[in-house]
């Protein structure tokens, strides 16, 4: 505290000793992991198998999702838009044929690594600038004898950004590796089929998002703002064990604002309310979108909603492990054609994308299918893969489904359809 240029508080030796003692206490780490160490070891072993199949000798995992999935290490600040003085070079490196991995980080995150990851071998850089951190990484890898053969990197990850990624690739090539190739899809697909432990988190996320949607519904009244309803949505989800999502959990009063932010617009009788959140537990996402009407719901709107809702029975009956995306697309397209909605211009995007472990700024996964456009796709659904499905026949309607051996199941416990709110 400074008053009139004079320091009003001066720290004593005892104050400094107090702070140093608290810092020393941080060394007594109690490890907290969302999964058993054996689960992470299984994931790393599976990833090495995929590396061998792809002809990779070394894999540099830089995406927040990839690092967290393989070892548990997760940060809220990944330096995605960092100052140029603080490049994002944190990465987990795997070598084919080696039953261990190396995490590269800056020294500021040592406590987090010890407390919240299963990593035993981590190499910390005191420096944070691009040249010295890169020199640290390639120097350590060269010392292990790992800088040979073909190296895979995640070129589709926003971590590192283009400037940092190009510098890393150049540094690897200068050390004599045979080639540097993109391994983004490998790293995404190895995470596709969820373990039972992962599914348990996703099902808890489903309970949280249902609770949040009901909490939102309980405060709907004319004059309330979009952002007010968003607050109640979040309050309800957090109270039920949920967490913030990788994307803004939208509440809007506009049909055509699905990628907007909740704002200051005030609700009127006759408005529709569209909510598109993910429930999240331990960063595992489950997506539901719901629509409400304020007043007496028009019968036309009810019928449109019933058509959208009916698609989920078709989806769950058709899609099972081994079903192609094309088979799903054709069956759903035929359903909408029979219902009279397909090809009329009243559909927004209709299809599904993969969900699972995600960090900001996104929750959309790698696998995706679009009704009508993917009729010929031979890509197959995997057992325990998780997708959202957007049956958007004029109004927002989304649920999340898990692919099973004999069929699929949706996860929200709330009925599909527009909900009418009388005020």
CB-neighbour burial class of residue 129 (10 A; exposed 0-12, middle 13-18, buried 19+): middle
For residue 242, what are the contacts with CB-CB under 8 A and spacing of at least 6? 205, 208, 209, 211, 212, 279, 280, 281
* Spacing of C-alpha 54 from chain mean position: 25
Task: Give CA–CA dist 92/144, Å, rounded.
Answer: 14
Query: Is the same domain home to 380 and 253?
Result: yes
State the CATH number of the domain containing residue 43: 3.40.350.10
For residue 38, what are the contacts with CB-CB under 8 A and spacing of at least 6? none
Boundaries of domain holding 154: 37-189
- Reduce the DSSP state of residue 122 to 3 states and report it: strand
CB-neighbour burial class of residue 189 (10 A; exposed 0-12, middle 13-18, buried 19+): middle
Query: Is the same domain home to 182 and 273?
Result: no
| pLDDT over threshold 60, residue 223 | yes
Indicate the angle between helix axes 130-144 and 162-174, nearest 10 degrees.
40
DSSP letter, residue 8: S
Task: Give CA–CA dist 176/10, Å, rounded.
Answer: 55
What percent of the chain is predicted at pLDDT more than 70? 99
Q: What is the pLDDT of residues 327-380, one digit of tens each?
A: 999 999 999 999 999 999 999 899 999 999 999 999 999 999 999 999 999 999
Note the pTM of the prediction, 2 decimals.
0.95
Strands in 179-182's sheet, in edge-to-edge order, are 122-125, 101-106, 91-95, 58-61, 150-153, 179-182
Task: Give CA–CA dist 373/18, Å, rounded.
Answer: 65
Q: What is the pLDDT of residues 308-333, one digit of tens each?
A: 999 999 999 999 999 999 999 999 99
State the CATH number of the domain containing residue 218: 3.90.230.10
| pLDDT over threshold 70, residue 2 | no
Task: Give CA–CA dist 188/357, Å, rounded.
Answer: 10
pLDDT of residue 29: 74
| pLDDT over threshold 80, residue 168 | yes
Query: Is the same domain home to 185 and 149?
Result: yes
pLDDT of residue 24: 85
In the numeric block, the tokens 């005020």 are attached to 423
How many domains is the chain built from? 2
Query: Is the same domain home to 154 and 289?
Result: no
Half-sphere exposure in the Cβ direction for 343 (13 Å, CA): 11
| pLDDT over threshold 70, residue 4 | no
Ramachandran assignment for 321, one of left (phi > 0), alpha (psi -120 to 50 degrees), beta (any other)? beta
Q: What is the pLDDT of residues 5-29, one digit of tens each?
A: 677 799 999 999 999 998 888 777 7
183-202 mean pLDDT: 98
58-67 mean pLDDT: 99
Q: Which of 168, 189, 210 is at the close of a domain?
A: 189
- Give 104 or 256, the one with higher predicted confidence: 104
Q: Which of 172, 189, 206 is at the close of a domain?
A: 189
Query: Is the same domain home to 227 and 182?
Result: no
């Amino acid at each position: 505290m400074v008053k009139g240029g004079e320091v009003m508080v001066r720290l004593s030796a005892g104050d400094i000793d107090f702070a140093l003692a608290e810092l020393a206490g941080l060394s007594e780490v109690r490890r907290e992991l969302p999964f058993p160490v054996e689960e992470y070891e299984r994931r790393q072993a599976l990833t090495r198998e995929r590396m061998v199949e792809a002809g990779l000798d070394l894999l540099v995992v830089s995406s927040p999702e990839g690092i967290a999935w393989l070892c548990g290490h997760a940060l809220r600040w990944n330096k995605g838009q960092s100052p140029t003085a603080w490049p994002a070079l944190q990465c987990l490196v795997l070598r084919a044929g080696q039953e261990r991995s190396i995490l590269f980080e800056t020294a500021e995150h040592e406590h987090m690594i010890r407390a919240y990851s299963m990593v035993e071998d981590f190499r910390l850089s005191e420096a944070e600038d691009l040249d010295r951190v890169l020199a640290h990484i390639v120097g350590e890898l060269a010392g292990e004898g790992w800088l040979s053969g073909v190296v895979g990197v995640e070129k589709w990850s926003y971590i590192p950004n283009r400037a940092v990624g190009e510098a890393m690739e150049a540094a690897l090539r200068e050390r004599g590796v045979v080639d540097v190739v993109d391994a983004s899809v490998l790293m995404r697909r190895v995470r596709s089929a969820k373990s039972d432990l992962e599914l348990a988190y996703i099902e808890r996320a489903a309970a949280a998002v249902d609770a949040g949607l009901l909490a939102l519904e309980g405060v709907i009244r004319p004059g309330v703002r979009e952002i007010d309803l968003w607050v109640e949505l979040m309050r309800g989800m957090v109270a039920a064990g949920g967490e913030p999502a990788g994307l803004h959990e939208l509440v809007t009063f506009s049909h055509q604002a699905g990628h907007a932010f909740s704002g200051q617009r005030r609700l009127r009788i006759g408005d529709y309310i569209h909510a598109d959140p993910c429930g999240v537990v331990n960063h595992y996402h489950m997506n539901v979108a719901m629509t409400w009407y304020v007043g007496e719901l028009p019968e036309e709107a009810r019928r449109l909603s019933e058509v959208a809702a009916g698609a989920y029975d078709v989806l769950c009956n058709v899609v099972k492990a081994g079903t192609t995306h094309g088979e799903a697309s054709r069956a759903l397209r035929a359903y909408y054609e029979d219902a009279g909605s397909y090809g009329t211009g009243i559909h927004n995007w209709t299809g599904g994308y993969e969900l699972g472990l995600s960090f900001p700024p996104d929750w959309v996964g790698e696998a995706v299918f679009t009704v009508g456009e993917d009729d010929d796709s031979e890509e197959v659904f995997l057992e325990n893969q998780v997708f959202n499905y957007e049956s958007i026949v004029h109004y927002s309607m989304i649920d999340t489904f898990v692919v099973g051996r004999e069929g699929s199941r949706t996860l929200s416990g709330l009925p599909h359809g527009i909900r009418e709110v009388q005020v």
